Structure 1
Amino acid sequence: MITRDPDVFLAFGRDCPPDFGPATAKAAFLVAPDGFARAEQSAADNRYMAEAGAFDAARASAQHRDLQRAMAAALPTVCFPGDPQAPDALFPNNVFATVPGRLIVGRMRHPVRQREAARPDIRGFFAGTLGYAVHDLSGQPHPCELTGALVIDRARGLGFCGLSERCDAAGARLLHGAFGLRATLLFELAPGEYHANVVLAVLAGRAVLLCQDGFADAGVADAIGQLYAPHAIRLSPAERAGFVGNAISLTAETVWMSAAAAAVLTPAARDGLARAGFGLEAVALDALESAGGSLRCCIAEIY
């Protein structure tokens, strides 16, 4: 089912048991920030991106290595080299995603990022080394920036797709089919938002982080909150701006976010995570965040 009606989606989602698949990934991969710099095309619709003078390539590289090192203590984490010709290619979750046995390749909006989809090393790793089939959406005309645009409850097979210039309605339908979801809710992001995963995070299928001001229609946020009650954690505009919504549950017991996000996390939100059974892991990523994304954006999950 694909719908724009939050009430219809809520009624359907409440009856979906958490038996669709693993709630968290078995491994992950990153792409190093080689050639890290401001990409002007991407900056055109990413208000979170800093000015060029704020980019520190050496610090970004060091923080990225720290992120991999920290993640590797929780689950196997591979890092592919970056491409100096693709200065903001450190966010592979927009381009590559998986379901068990299948690699999904997305179609990026901006040409500066479209080249990432053709990388033979990443494709070869999945197709040749892991034996995954490839579901390639990169050549069709509709932008569909994978788990940037589409937030997924992997346990219940539910998708939440924020529509913007980075993913149109046709692209959302392609994503729904590629991931084989039970149901997908389509909704408009608030003006100025580019990806759903900046304003929404489903945590191990049992809790949700919600930035209501990131939704064009507050009623959509309310419906999603009802689906995950009592573990719907509503975030303030300051928490959204600090990338708290760009978090991820790498294991069933932990939520990961950047140190900057953790610093603006309110006591109420911390308590909400604890009540949902999550500990918090934070990694300093301020240099990387100048590119307009945070920790979740850096992580491509392997299921």
Structure 2
Amino acid sequence: MITRDLGAFVARVRGFAHDFGPPTARGAFLVAPDGFRLADESARDNRYMADAARFDAMRASEEHRALHRALAQVVPTICFPGDPDAPDGLFPNNVFATGAGRYLVGRMRHPVRQREAARADIRAFFGGVLDYAEIDLSDQVHPCELTGALVIDRARGVGWCGLSERCDETGAQLMHEALGLRATLLFDLAPGEYHTNVVLAVLAGRAALVCPRGFADAAVVDALRAVYGPHAIALSDAEHAAFAGNAITLSNDVVWMSEGAGAALTAATRQALAAAGFTLRTVPMAAIEAAGGSLRCCVGELF
């Protein structure tokens, strides 16, 4: 099922058992921020990007190494070298994604990011080392920026796909089919939003962080509440702006986000996370966030 019909989607999804697969990944992969700088093409439709003067390559590299060390304490985490000709490469989850026995290569909107999809070393790791089957979506014309556009509830096999210039309806259909999802909801992101994973995070299949102003239709937020109940946690505009929605769970009991996002959380949000059974861990990401993404954007998941 892939639909824009909110009522039909909620009615279907609420009956799903948490038996599609593990709710969190068994490992993670990163790409180092080599050549970290402003990518002018990406800045055209990413309002979160800072101007070129705020890009600090050395600090971004230090933050990224700290992220690697932190995540490696939880799940096996590997880091591929960056490509100086691909300055957005430190956000690999938009380009590569995995499911049971398969890996996807996404179709990126901007040519500067399409270079990342041609990485022979990353493809060889998935195909040759992990022996995953390849599903290559990069050579068709419809943008589908994988888990940037598509936030997945891995426990239920459910996708929440925000449409923008980075993902159209056909691209969403291709991702839905490639991942074998049970149901995917299509909706429009609010003007100025480029990726769903900046405004929505599904946490270990049982909770969600939701930035209401990130959705063109407020009824999508109601749908999230209908599925996740009291654990659909609405974030304030300040939390949204600090990238609190760009969070990830790599285990059943810890939510990861940037240090700046964590500092922006209200007491109510912290209490809601605790009520859902989560503790919070943060990593400094201020330099990386100048590139228009945060912690979740840096993390590719291995399922």
Counterpart of 2:302? 302
- What is the letter of the counterpart of residue 228 of structure 1? Y
Counterpart of 1:21? 21
Counterpart of 1:52? 52
* 8 Å CA contact 1:27, 1:75 repeated in 2: yes
Counterpart of 1:151? 151
Counterpart of 1:37? 37
The alpha carbon displacement at 1:88 in A equals: 1.4
- For these two proteins, the number of residue pairs brought into alignment is 303
The normalised TM-score by structure 2 is 0.99
The alpha carbon displacement at 1:207 in A equals: 0.2
Within 5 A, what are the aligned runs for 1:1-303?
A: 1-303=1-303
Identity of aligned residues (%): 68
After superposing the two structures, state which structure 1 stretch, 219-228 or 256-265, moved more: 219-228
Q: Distance in 1 between matches of 2:245 and 2:62?
A: 24
- What is the letter of the counterpart of residue 117 of structure 1? A
Q: Distance in 1 between matches of 2:271 and 2:302?
A: 29
The alpha carbon displacement at 1:6 in A equals: 1.1
Name the SS of the counterpart of 2:141 in structure 1: coil
Name the SS of the counterpart of 1:46 in structure 2: coil
The alpha carbon displacement at 1:224 in A equals: 1.0
Q: Distance in 1 between matches of 2:87 and 2:202?
A: 29
The alpha carbon displacement at 1:240 in A equals: 0.6
- What is the letter of the counterpart of residue 15 of structure 2? D
* 8 Å CA contact 1:102, 1:134 repeated in 2: yes
Unpaired segments ≥5 residues, structure 2: none
Q: Distance in 2 between matches of 1:124 and 1:101?
A: 14
Q: Deviations over 1:70-98 (max 9, x none)?
A: 00000000000000001111000000000
Q: Distance in 2 between matches of 1:152 and 1:300?
A: 13
Q: Deviations over 1:126-177 (max 9, x none)?
A: 1111111100000000000000000000000000000000000110000100
The alpha carbon displacement at 1:66 in A equals: 0.2
Name the SS of the counterpart of 2:250 in structure 1: strand
Q: Distance in 1 between matches of 2:299 and 2:54?
A: 23
Name the SS of the counterpart of 2:230 in structure 1: coil
The alpha carbon displacement at 1:226 in A equals: 1.5
Name the SS of the counterpart of 1:292 in structure 2: coil
* 8 Å CA contact 1:36, 1:60 repeated in 2: yes
The alpha carbon displacement at 1:105 in A equals: 0.5
Q: Deviations over 1:227-258 (max 9, x none)?
A: 10121100011111100000001111100000
Q: Distance in 2 between matches of 1:4 and 1:127?
A: 34
The alpha carbon displacement at 1:5 in A equals: 1.2
Name the SS of the counterpart of 1:251 in structure 2: coil
Q: Distance in 2 between matches of 1:103 and 1:226?
A: 31
The alpha carbon displacement at 1:286 in A equals: 0.3
- What is the letter of the counterpart of residue 286 of structure 2? D
The alpha carbon displacement at 1:225 in A equals: 1.5
Q: Distance in 1 between matches of 2:21 and 2:75?
A: 18
* 8 Å CA contact 1:210, 1:225 repeated in 2: no
Q: Distance in 2 between matches of 1:139 and 1:119?
A: 14
- What is the letter of the counterpart of residue 204 of structure 1? A
The alpha carbon displacement at 1:106 in A equals: 0.4
Superposed CA RMSD: 0.5
* 8 Å CA contact 1:246, 1:294 repeated in 2: yes
- What is the letter of the counterpart of residue 247 of structure 1? A
* 8 Å CA contact 1:211, 1:240 repeated in 2: yes
* 8 Å CA contact 1:150, 1:160 repeated in 2: yes
The alpha carbon displacement at 1:299 in A equals: 0.3
- What is the letter of the counterpart of residue 130 of structure 2? L
Q: Distance in 1 between matches of 2:42 and 2:114?
A: 11
- What is the letter of the counterpart of residue 100 of structure 1? A
